[in-house]
């Protein structure tokens, strides 16, 4: 087994309808609610929003690692993350993700695509979702295309 670098711990009670989630260190403490768009009352966060923030933060970190390795200055990177909840034919649910990567100091579109593709290769969220859900990555307005 690989050496563990970090383990996050959290407890959720009540689920997504009227739940509560808290990390063991208390740094994240959220009310979970079904969004109004799904017929709920809103007034809290939901798993899709938490996943969107987590994926974007992880991807931005991976992008920073890749840029440092290649000695590329990217500027103040921002990631717009969209996580969609979709029904399946089996009456279940699945997710789809779109990450809009903005690299303000990377003028070369091909370099932006290469950096985003390399980040998608090393990001733990990308690795966890690869082959499980559709993930679309757009770097400076260009779709990075299929990444194995």
Residue 121 φ/ψ, nearest 5 degrees: -70, -35
Give the pTM: 0.92
Domain boundaries, the chain: 1-45, 47-143
Domains 1-45 and 47-143 share a fold: no
pLDDT in tens, 60-104: 999 999 999 999 999 999 999 999 999 999 999 999 999 999 999
> Do the beta carbons of residue 115 and residue 74 sit within 8 Å?
yes
Alpha-carbon distance of 133 to 126, in angstroms, equals 10
1 band by pLDDT with thresholds 50, 70 and 90? confident
Give every CB contact of residue 70 below 8 A, 6+ residues apart in sequence: 115, 118
Alpha-carbon distance of 94 to 131, in angstroms, equals 12
Name the fold adopted by 1-45: N-terminal domain of TfIIb (2.20.25)
For residue 20, the surrounding DSSP H or E stretch is strand 19-23
Would you say residue 147 has pLDDT above 60? no
pLDDT for the residue 146: 63
Name the fold adopted by 47-143: GMP Synthetase; Chain A, domain 3 (3.30.300)
């Amino acid at each position: 087994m690989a050496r563990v670098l970090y383990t996050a711990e959290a407890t959720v009670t009540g689920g997504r309808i009227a739940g509560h989630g808290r990390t063991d260190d208390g740094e994240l403490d959220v009310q979970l609610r079904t969004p109004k768009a799904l017929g709920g009352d809103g007034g809290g966060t939901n798993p899709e929003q938490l996943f969107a923030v987590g994926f974007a933060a992880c991807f931005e970190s991976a992008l920073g690692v890749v840029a440092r390795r290649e000695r590329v200055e990217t500027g103040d990177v921002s990631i717009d993350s969209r996580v969609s909840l979709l029904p399946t034919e089996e009456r279940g649910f699945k997710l789809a993700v779109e990450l809009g990567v903005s690299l303000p100091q990377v003028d070369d579109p091909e370099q932006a695509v290469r950096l985003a593709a390399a980040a998608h290769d090393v990001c733990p969220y990308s690795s966890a979702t690869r082959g499980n859900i559709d993930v679309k990555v757009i770097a400076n307005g260009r779709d990075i295309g299929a990444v194995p």
